[in-house]
Amino acid sequence: MPTFPCPTCQRPVEWSAAAKWRPFCSERCRLIDLGAWMAEKHAIPGDEISPDGVQPSTDEPDDPPRH
Protein backbone atom coordinates (compact mmCIF):
# COMPACT_ATOMS: atom_id res chain seq x y z
CA MET A 1 0.00 0.00 0.00
CA PRO A 2 1.42 3.46 -0.87
CA THR A 3 2.28 5.87 1.91
CA PHE A 4 2.17 9.67 1.92
CA PRO A 5 3.47 12.19 4.45
CA CYS A 6 0.98 13.61 6.95
CA PRO A 7 0.36 17.25 5.93
CA THR A 8 0.91 18.38 9.54
CA CYS A 9 3.82 16.34 10.94
CA GLN A 10 5.18 14.57 7.84
CA ARG A 11 4.91 11.05 9.35
CA PRO A 12 4.11 8.40 6.74
CA VAL A 13 0.41 7.59 6.39
CA GLU A 14 -0.75 4.46 4.59
CA TRP A 15 -3.31 5.41 1.95
CA SER A 16 -5.98 2.81 2.65
CA ALA A 17 -9.47 2.55 4.11
CA ALA A 18 -7.84 1.39 7.36
CA ALA A 19 -6.20 4.81 7.84
CA LYS A 20 -9.03 6.45 9.79
CA TRP A 21 -7.66 10.03 9.70
CA ARG A 22 -6.11 10.08 6.22
CA PRO A 23 -4.52 12.17 4.84
CA PHE A 24 -3.50 12.89 8.46
CA CYS A 25 -1.79 10.38 10.73
CA SER A 26 -4.03 11.14 13.72
CA GLU A 27 -7.00 13.15 14.94
CA ARG A 28 -4.54 15.52 16.62
CA CYS A 29 -2.89 16.40 13.29
CA ARG A 30 -6.32 16.79 11.66
CA LEU A 31 -7.42 19.24 14.37
CA ILE A 32 -4.17 21.20 14.13
CA ASP A 33 -4.79 21.64 10.40
CA LEU A 34 -8.43 22.62 10.96
CA GLY A 35 -7.34 25.22 13.52
CA ALA A 36 -4.85 26.68 11.03
CA TRP A 37 -7.65 27.10 8.44
CA MET A 38 -9.94 28.70 11.02
CA ALA A 39 -7.16 31.09 12.09
CA GLU A 40 -6.71 31.96 8.39
CA LYS A 41 -3.13 30.70 8.35
CA HIS A 42 -4.07 28.75 5.20
CA ALA A 43 -5.95 30.33 2.30
CA ILE A 44 -6.96 29.54 -1.25
CA PRO A 45 -5.90 32.35 -3.59
CA GLY A 46 -8.69 34.32 -5.19
CA ASP A 47 -10.00 37.78 -5.91
CA GLU A 48 -10.19 40.20 -2.99
CA ILE A 49 -13.66 41.04 -1.72
CA SER A 50 -14.22 44.37 0.00
CA PRO A 51 -15.41 44.38 3.64
CA ASP A 52 -18.94 45.36 2.55
CA GLY A 53 -19.09 42.21 0.38
CA VAL A 54 -19.19 44.05 -2.95
CA GLN A 55 -16.87 42.77 -5.66
CA PRO A 56 -14.54 45.45 -7.08
CA SER A 57 -15.62 46.61 -10.52
CA THR A 58 -13.75 45.49 -13.61
CA ASP A 59 -12.77 47.60 -16.60
CA GLU A 60 -15.16 45.65 -18.82
CA PRO A 61 -18.47 47.38 -19.59
CA ASP A 62 -21.69 45.71 -18.51
CA ASP A 63 -23.99 44.24 -21.14
CA PRO A 64 -26.65 46.70 -22.31
CA PRO A 65 -30.12 46.08 -20.83
CA ARG A 66 -32.43 43.89 -22.89
CA HIS A 67 -36.01 44.95 -23.60
pLDDT, mean over the chain = 84
pLDDT value, residue 67? 63
Question: Which domains does the chain possess?
Answer: 3-38 (3.30.50.10)
pLDDT value, residue 56? 60
Q: Are 24 and 7 in contact (CB under 8 A)?
A: yes
Whether residue 8 is predicted with pLDDT greater than 70 in this model: the reply is yes
Whether residue 65 is predicted with pLDDT greater than 80 in this model: the reply is no
C-alpha triplet 62, 63, 67: angle, nearest 5°: 135
* Segment 29-58, tens digit of pLDDT: 999 999 999 998 988 888 877 777 676 666
